[in-house]
Chains A and B, each alone.
Chain A
Amino acid sequence: MHPNALKAYWRRNLRYVLLLLLLWFLVSFGCGILWAEELNALRLGGFKLGFWFAQQGAIYAFVMLIFVYVGLMNRLDRAYNVHEQAPLAPDRPAGKKRPDPNSPQSPSSPTP
């Protein structure tokens, strides 16, 4: 594959990661700690909202963030044709310095 395409893949990956980490920060450190006091004025049933974020909401959000990332990356891997072609052989010969035939430098060769 063209090195520029790989650069573009990596940049997209970084953009996803930064965006998701921003959300990660906002739900936990933001809603759960920094603004907890203010959010506690609002209620969610018997919960004060800041307290709920700190002890429940942030955790639900974490789970969702990981699955969103998994989904985005699986799509991105295929779009840039860098995904692994399953099923893999269970083991690889132990040859130490053997160049990886599937490294981005020789993307056309098949998976072992």
Chain B
Amino acid sequence: MDVQRWTYLLVGASFALYLGIAYWSRAGSTKDFYVAGGGVSPLANGMATAADWMSAASFISMAGLISFMGYDGAVYLMGWTGGYVLLALLLAPYLRKFGKFTVPDFVGERYYSQTARQVAVLCALFVSFTYVAGQMRGVGVVFSRFLEVPVDWGVAIGMLIVFFYATLGGMKGITYTQVAQYCVLIFAFMVPAIFISLMMTGNPIPQLGFGDRLSDGTYLLDRLDSLHQELGFAAYTSGSKGLADLFCITAALMVGTAGLPHVIVRFFTVARVRDARLSAGYALVFIAILYTTAPAIGAFARTNLINTVHNQPYDAMPEWFSKWETTGLLTFEDKNGDGRIQYVADANRNELTTFDKDIIVLANPEIARLPNWVVALVAAGGLAAALSTAAGLLLVISASVSHDFIKKMVNPHISERGELWAARISAAVAVLIAGYFGINPPGFVAEVVAFAFGLAASSFFPAILLGIFSRRMNKQGAIAGMLSGLLFTLGYIVYFKFGQTLFGLSPQAVAPARWWFGISPEGAGTLGMLLNFAVSLVVMRLSPPPPAHVQQLVETIRYPRGAGAASGH
């Protein structure tokens, strides 16, 4: 069978499975819809968290980014895993003890203020929309290649599917669908990695193969370093980013992970406080399997790519090359007219004029000439990753609108049925908006997602952390902190990333040389977070302490005993 048929078969079969699960576990109540009835086992919750959170960026973009960035790719690896330590130690158990549906619920009650709740809803919507745009783009990239349709059509197809099962199942449907999606995505990620590791180093474990010897006896990473040197790139195992920038991007991603509403809400779905801690641990195990494999794939793919493409005749390129050329994500221009492809660092001589980082993982099995079913499997895995995250985000968006906004602010007397419908309608609207951003994306998948982390780090994390660990923190401090953190980070990103197109700034004004302390927009979340902490603490000292019942609440969430099921009242 050819790749095309295998793709239809595997993608079709996996979708049938997800839709079946979504239908079987559809939500009957708002509690089912928001927190899956609050009775998910830690293991299943860990797996669902992993799928929810490992997005198109992790599956499709990350290994590709690492293969282009080398050592610097570590910011994504450590950044997107280290946050779980913060989550398990600082947030998850306490938020579970608190026991509400959404993050704005916590902020609203802890800071005894509708304004605080509104600010939190605003932040949640902002973060989730930024994030979901990256996902829809990822879905579009996968569909465009494997169904051979334009990227925009791919996005539209993805929108339709996400719409169907996110609106039907809510959290309950999503949780069990995500367990299935985790299995599909991790299988799809590991199979080609194991194949390639065996082919290149003879070691079946990619994590070890990556530090092993090639058939000629040199270590893979040493070979890669020397190839890079030959072509004029920086050495693969040493980076080119500044220390402050590495530090800030890593910190922004870590703290952002711990502040992402769709990740936090996961810990509301388990039955007990100790389960919340444990399920953060399980989630990280399931995530680590992919995250320790990704850098191996990055190194394998890089070596393979250079060997397959560089200085080879264009006419002799394998089939995958022309297929990606038709998507426009890969272009070749024979600058010196010798009919061969020169892939070098020097932009004037480099003949691979476009090389989208997002295609590395998808093209990798073909570059390594793996069997057709493996190629198709990767497509199914990429879709599982993108769809599971998109669905989780849409749920946060719809919960923010229907629960935090309509029920808590506009119409407190709305019926359960009405609230459920409001949730579904807002999910539908969210899909449309997300689709628009998927078709007109403001950057690469992983970069777009990185911004969402920066915004989460600078808005939610300090407010929640101080809300748990400081009895004295009051609403004035929290609101001022969240707003200043969010606005600062947003301003920094918009200024440096979009300043030229939006405000007609000169290229010099937004050049990396003008970054504060050499910190790129991706690391801005760390600055925003520090600002948030500083503003919160100063404003707190200048304003009265919170009322006694709130201080009592802070006291109560410190002790696990007495954790009830999550409730929306």
Contacts and interface: CB of A to CB of B under 8 A. Distances in A.
Contact of B556 (A51, A69, A103): A103
A91 B292 contact: no
Given A70-B278, A83-B274, A62 B81 contact: yes
A111 B295 contact: no
Contacts of A103: 556, 559, 561-562
A85 B39 CA distance: 16
B300 to A, nearest CB: 13
Residue among B37, B77, B90 with most chain A CB within 10 A: B77
Contacts of B291: 59
Contact of B78 (A58, A70, A74): A58
Contacts of B274: 70, 73-74, 77, 83-84
B423 to A, nearest CB: 19
A20 B89 contact: yes
Given A55-B74, A102-B561, A84 B272 contact: yes
B211 A66 contact: no
B246 interface: yes
Given A24-B82, A77-B560, A90 B211 contact: no
Contacts of A13: 558
For this complex, into which size category does the number of interface residues on chain A fall? 35 or more
A8 interface: no
A44 B207 CA distance: 13
Interface string B213-237: 1000001111000000000000001
A34 to B, nearest CB: 7
Residue among A20, A32, A63, A85 with most chain B CB within 10 A: A63
Nearest to B92: A66
A107 B88 CA distance: 25
A61 B277 CA distance: 17
Contact of B567 (A6, A45, A92): A92
A5 to B, nearest CB: 11
Given A90-B39, A91-B565, A104-B555, A83 B243 contact: no
B250 A46 contact: no
A47 B82 contact: no
A9 B559 contact: yes
A84 to B, nearest CB: 5
A36 B242 CA distance: 13
B122 interface: no
A29 B247 contact: yes
Contact of B558 (A10, A55, A63): A10
Interface stretch (B191-199, B279-287, B493-501): B279-287
Nearest to A17: B89
A100 interface: yes
B82 A58 contact: yes
A65 B107 CA distance: 28
Interface in A66-112: 66-67, 69-70, 73-74, 77, 82-86, 88-92, 94, 96, 100-104, 107, 111-112
B73 interface: yes
Contact of B73 (A6, A55, A69): A55
Interface string B194-211: 000000000000011011
Contacts of B190: none
A28 B272 contact: no
B284 A63 contact: yes
A100 B280 CA distance: 26
Contacts of B219: 45-46
Given A60-B288, A104-B555, A82 B560 contact: yes
Contacts of B211: 44-47, 52
Interface string B240-257: 000100110011001000
A94 B273 CA distance: 20
A79 B125 CA distance: 42
Contact of A90 (B207, B220, B295, B565): B565
A88 B565 contact: yes
A21 interface: yes
B470 interface: no
Contacts of A65: 85
Contact of A66 (B85, B221, B560, B561): B85
B243 A34 contact: yes
Contacts of A10: 558
A59 B273 contact: no
A21 B78 CA distance: 14
A84 B560 contact: yes
Contacts of A63: 281, 284-285, 288
A82 B84 contact: no
B85 A112 contact: no
Contacts of A32: 74, 78, 250
A70 B281 CA distance: 8
A46 B278 contact: no
Interface in B69-97: 71, 73-74, 77-78, 81-82, 84-86, 88-90, 93
Contact of A69 (B66, B277, B564): B277
A74 B84 CA distance: 18
Closest A-B pairs by Cβ, 9 of them = A102-B562, A46-B219, A54-B74, A46-B211, A66-B281, A55-B295, A47-B211, A92-B564, A82-B559
Given A54-B74, A58-B81, 12 more contacts: A28-B254, A45-B212, A46-B213, A48-B237, A56-B292, A62-B284, A63-B281, A69-B88, A70-B88, A77-B560, A89-B565, A111-B561
10 contacts: A20-B89, A36-B71, A55-B71, A56-B207, A59-B78, A63-B285, A66-B281, A70-B274, A91-B565, A96-B569
Interface of A: 6, 9-10, 13, 17, 20-21, 24, 28-29, 32-34, 36-37, 40, 44-48, 51-52, 54-56, 58-60, 62-63, 65-67, 69-70, 73-74, 77, 82-86, 88-92, 94, 96, 100-104, 107, 111-112
Interface of B: 37-39, 66, 71, 73-74, 77-78, 81-82, 84-86, 88-90, 93, 207-208, 210-213, 219-222, 237-238, 243, 246-247, 250-251, 254, 271-274, 277-278, 280-281, 284-285, 288, 291-292, 295, 555-556, 558-565, 567, 569
